[in-house]
Chains A and B, each alone.
Chain A
Amino acid sequence: MIVVKELTKKYSGEIVLNIPSLTIAKGESFGLVGNNGAGKTTFFRLVLDLIRASSGSVFSGEVTVSRNETWKQYTGSYLDEGFLIDFLTPEEYFQFVARINGLTQGDITEFYDRFRDFFNDEIVAKKKLIRDLSKGNQKKVGIAAALMKEPQVLVLDEPFNSLDPTSQIRLKLLLNELNTNGETTMLISSHDLKHVTEVCDRIVILDKGLIVKDIFKSENTLKEVEDYFYTQIYRQTTS
């Protein structure tokens, strides 16, 4: 579904991301892990054509994301608050997203049903603007809006961050459900190793812009990922 070829991104001469080749299959749930500055968000921005690649390209389906816009029709994404229109109420925002995606009023009702538990009565009908919501609730709005059109490709940057425990579990269930249906290709980054290994079939670890590990899910994925970071620390303290 997503194919990366010879992709690099430089900022003032310094390479911050360098992925010679990466293929994410249709329906795969792809987890991206790495320390701050590893290039996770940069990679997602390149996938969403929000920054210009220094070289190489990202293909979504058959098309290069930077040349053709058709991928926007089936891609849902939420990276940061920059994706929210903060002077709208959540309802207005959902309405807006629904309209530009050509969803009907019926679809919207269904959407609210589906996300009722996730919203936990804190989002809808509160007569609050998005900018007046807490960080966690803002995130919920963004994630729900990304999921609204039932995207074939879903890109979420640290979705568990700043959600409360209940919402984290609910989100995990939602994503797992999407995963079992096998229709959605998910790209998710996280600092929470436990969550991300539970949701994703495949974990890729980025370090300073390079893919240093590519693990397909097994029983001890979590252990393997944790071990990687522990060895990093050992290496630093011994050297």
Chain B
Amino acid sequence: MFRIFVRHQWKEALRSTIWHKNVAANIFIGFLFLLMIFYLLLIGILIDRILADVYPGRNPAEMFNGFLLLYFLADLVIRFYLQQVSAFHISSYLHLPIRRRTIVHYVELKTVLSIFNIIPFFIVIPFAFIVVGRQYAPLDAWIYLITIFLMVMVNNFLATYLKRQLSSRPRIVAAAGLAVVGLILLNYFGILSISGFSSLVFGYLLIHPQLVAIPAAILFAVYAVHYYFLKKRLYPEEIETRKRQKMDSISEIRYLKGLGITGEIMALEMKLMWRNKRPKTTIYLFPLFILYGLFFYPQEIYMNQGTGLLIFVGVFMSGGMMLNYLNYAFGWESNYFDALLTSRIDMERYIRVKFINSLIISTLCFIITIPYVFFGWRILFINFVTFLYNIGFLSFVLLYMATFNKKRIDLSRASAFNYQGIGASNWLAMLPAFLFPPLVYWPFQAIGLPYVGFMVIGVIGLIGLSLHRVFLQMIRSQFEKRRYIMAEGFRVR
């Protein structure tokens, strides 16, 4: 039976319309993927030397063990947000004479193929044989590997279980996420030594290999809990969590009503974003963009030498969400695009609303990142000019590019790592979007006028803003040219 399921899924994946039309994006994704594998393997092979460099005089295996528990914690949170729970269409099989438990096992085991279960092994396998195998006995390397495999599986089934269980309760999820971040911070400041504990536990395991039974038992328990959870809820209406939506009060926003048809379209878009899974999970990525600066600002090296990178960070923070929105400016509405085209809505107004929305999104992101001024006025200045660039230049480019996107977007699927509905144009749009400002800046840095370089970036944005009528008109006529093609693409389910 499993074989048949797998074959069906394989066919579903192969026949998905994404693959057929989208060679460029596929090659690009494939390339990124290979690159990532290469880097991970490299890290895995060199990790003992890296550790020895960073923490001289300490045992690399101990150090590595110290990271493990933290990794599993972080992994659990990340999986919760990013790992897809199966898109297996149970309802097409339930009415057939197939045993329920076969279906449940399949649904549960299917998650094993997730990329999250594969990535760690590119590092761990070389590490286990190069470092552990050398320091201890070769057999220990195997035990070590098996333990980590078991732990990864525990995380896999736990995260997917929690996701199925809790996705309807975002507050609990947020609290759990914060708790894990808190633990990591406590560890970082040395208040609570998780890494010490982790090092101890995994070190002990290397001395007493029979303890591998413990993670095995945990895995079994988690799997069983998940299994019975699913088995009890095998009715499609329960498992597909298409619960009847609680009504929200977006329709009551008086202010938008006052804006006439423009307000009506904006209210519609807000409902679109808030009531559908795909855009909603995109909104959940919001903190990721805002916190991006924290990766760079605390590091001396970037602050002193990586100004181009800081510009990139600025573009990314105030432009990332906007990019997510504008890439699919029209695709979001693929479900009812025909209705828009036959409606009396004036397309010029419609396009202007898209622009205004991107203004709002970007401004909001900029305002939230103002506290980064803590790292110096220069940061605020960079973020401000890149913000101007985003709203006055990038927004028009993206809106223009969006007319090339004719992929229907399935609003009911989650978004992270979801390439459904992404066209080559989306990838194309991202590159110049982020590379252009640093390129503008570098010549000025080279002649010793960095601040002039910043200002030029800002001025580009200001000029764009003052010409917004012209740009919107251009986008409008582009839209007119493309609308049949878009409408046709959007109809393909």
What residues of B have a CB within 8 angstroms of the CB of A165 in the complex? none
- Let me know if A85 and B268 touch, CB within 8 A: yes
- Let me know if B339 and A89 touch, CB within 8 A: no
The reply to whether the CB of B276 lies closer than 8 angstroms to some CB of chain A is yes
CB contact between B261 and one of A77, A79, A99 (< 8 Å): that residue: A99
Encoded as 1 (CB less than 8 Å from any B CB) or 0, chain A from 68 to 102 comes to: 00001101010110111111110010011101111
4 more contacts with CB within 8 A, not counting A77-B342, A100-B343, are A51-B488, A73-B344, A83-B339, A129-B275
Instruction: Tell me the residues in window 390-447 of chain B with beta carbons closer than 8 Å to chain A beta carbons.
Output: 411
What residues of B have a CB within 8 angstroms of the CB of A235 in the complex? none
User: Complex formed: what's the CA distance from A49 to B338 in Å?
Assistant: 9
- Let me know if B264 and A87 touch, CB within 8 A: no
User: Complex formed: what's the CA distance from A85 to B425 in Å?
Assistant: 26
User: Complex formed: what's the CA distance from A79 to B487 in Å?
Assistant: 14
Instruction: Tell me the residues in window 254-286 of chain B with beta carbons closer than 8 Å to chain A beta carbons.
Output: 261, 264, 268, 271-272, 275-276
The reply to whether the CB of B375 lies closer than 8 angstroms to some CB of chain A is no
What residues of A have a CB within 8 angstroms of the CB of B343 in the complex? 72, 97, 100
With A51-B488, A52-B484, A96-B264 as known contacts, state yes or no: A83 contacts B342, CB within 8 Å: yes
- Let me know if A101 and B344 touch, CB within 8 A: yes
User: Complex formed: what's the CA distance from A48 to B344 in Å?
Assistant: 12
Instruction: Tell me the residues in window 335-352 of chain B with beta carbons closer than 8 Å to chain A beta carbons.
Output: 335-339, 341-345
The reply to whether the CB of A128 lies closer than 8 angstroms to some CB of chain B is yes
Identify which of A88, A100, A132 gathers the most chain B CB atoms within 10 Å of its CB: A100
- Let me know if B336 and A100 touch, CB within 8 A: no
What residues of B have a CB within 8 angstroms of the CB of A79 in the complex? 338
Interface size class of B (residues with CB under 8 A): 20 to 34
Q: Which A residue's beta carbon lies closest to that of B484? A: A52
The reply to whether the CB of B232 lies closer than 8 angstroms to some CB of chain A is no
With A96-B264, A99-B264, A100-B345 as known contacts, state yes or no: A86 contacts B335, CB within 8 Å: yes
What residues of B have a CB within 8 angstroms of the CB of A100 in the complex? 261, 264, 343-345
- Let me know if A72 and B275 touch, CB within 8 A: no
Q: Which A residue's beta carbon lies closest to that of B408? A: A82
> How many residues on the A side are at the interface (Cβ–Cβ under 8 A)?
31
Encoded as 1 (CB less than 8 Å from any B CB) or 0, chain A from 91 to 134 comes to: 01001110111100000000000000000000000011100100
Q: Which A residue's beta carbon lies closest to that of B247? A: A127
- Let me know if B339 and A84 touch, CB within 8 A: yes
With A79-B338, A83-B339 as known contacts, state yes or no: A129 contacts B251, CB within 8 Å: no
With A72-B342, A92-B251, A129-B245 as known contacts, state yes or no: A84 contacts B271, CB within 8 Å: no
B residues bordering A, Cβ < 8 Å? 242, 244-245, 247, 251, 261, 264, 268, 271-272, 275-276, 335-339, 341-345, 411, 484, 487-488, 490-491
With A79-B338, A92-B251, A96-B264 as known contacts, state yes or no: A72 contacts B488, CB within 8 Å: no
User: By DSSP majority rule, is chain A's interface helix, strand, loop, or mixed?
Assistant: loop
Nearest-Cβ distance from residue A49 to partner chain B, whole angstroms? 7
Identify which of B271, B272, B336 gathers the most chain A CB atoms within 10 Å of its CB: B336
The reply to whether the CB of A50 lies closer than 8 angstroms to some CB of chain B is yes
- Let me know if A50 and B335 touch, CB within 8 A: no
4 pairs of A and B residues whose beta carbons are closest in the complex: A87-B275, A52-B484, A83-B339, A82-B338
User: By DSSP majority rule, is chain B's interface helix, strand, loop, or mixed?
Assistant: helix
User: Complex formed: what's the CA distance from A48 to B491 in Å?
Assistant: 15
User: Complex formed: what's the CA distance from A101 to B488 in Å?
Assistant: 25
Q: Which B residue's beta carbon lies closest to that of A83? A: B339
What residues of B have a CB within 8 angstroms of the CB of A86 in the complex? 335-336
What residues of A have a CB within 8 angstroms of the CB of B244 in the complex? 127-129, 132
What residues of A have a CB within 8 angstroms of the CB of B487 in the complex? 50-51
- Let me know if B338 and A92 touch, CB within 8 A: no
What residues of B have a CB within 8 angstroms of the CB of A50 in the complex? 338, 341-342, 484, 487
With A96-B264, A100-B261 as known contacts, state yes or no: A82 contacts B341, CB within 8 Å: no
CB contact between B268 and one of A49, A96, A132 (< 8 Å): that residue: A96
What residues of A have a CB within 8 angstroms of the CB of B271 in the complex? 87-88, 92
| CB pairs A–B below 8 angstroms (23 shown) | A49-B342, A50-B342, A50-B484, A51-B484, A51-B487, A77-B342, A82-B338, A82-B491, A85-B335, A85-B339, A87-B271, A87-B276, A88-B268, A88-B271, A89-B247, A97-B343, A99-B261, A101-B344, A127-B247, A129-B244, A129-B245, A132-B244, A132-B245
User: Complex formed: what's the CA distance from A51 to B492 in Å?
Assistant: 13
User: Complex formed: what's the CA distance from A73 to B342 in Å?
Assistant: 9
CB contact between A82 and one of B242, B247, B337, B344 (< 8 Å): that residue: B337
- Let me know if B336 and A82 touch, CB within 8 A: yes
Q: Which A residue's beta carbon lies closest to that of B251? A: A92
- Let me know if B339 and A82 touch, CB within 8 A: yes
What residues of A have a CB within 8 angstroms of the CB of B341 in the complex? 48-50
With A92-B271, A100-B264, A132-B244 as known contacts, state yes or no: A87 contacts B342, CB within 8 Å: no
What residues of B have a CB within 8 angstroms of the CB of A83 in the complex? 336, 338-339, 342
User: Complex formed: what's the CA distance from A127 to B249 in Å?
Assistant: 12
Instruction: Tell me the residues in window 37-70 of chain A with beta carbons closer than 8 Å to chain B beta carbons.
Output: 48-52
What residues of A have a CB within 8 angstroms of the CB of B491 in the complex? 82
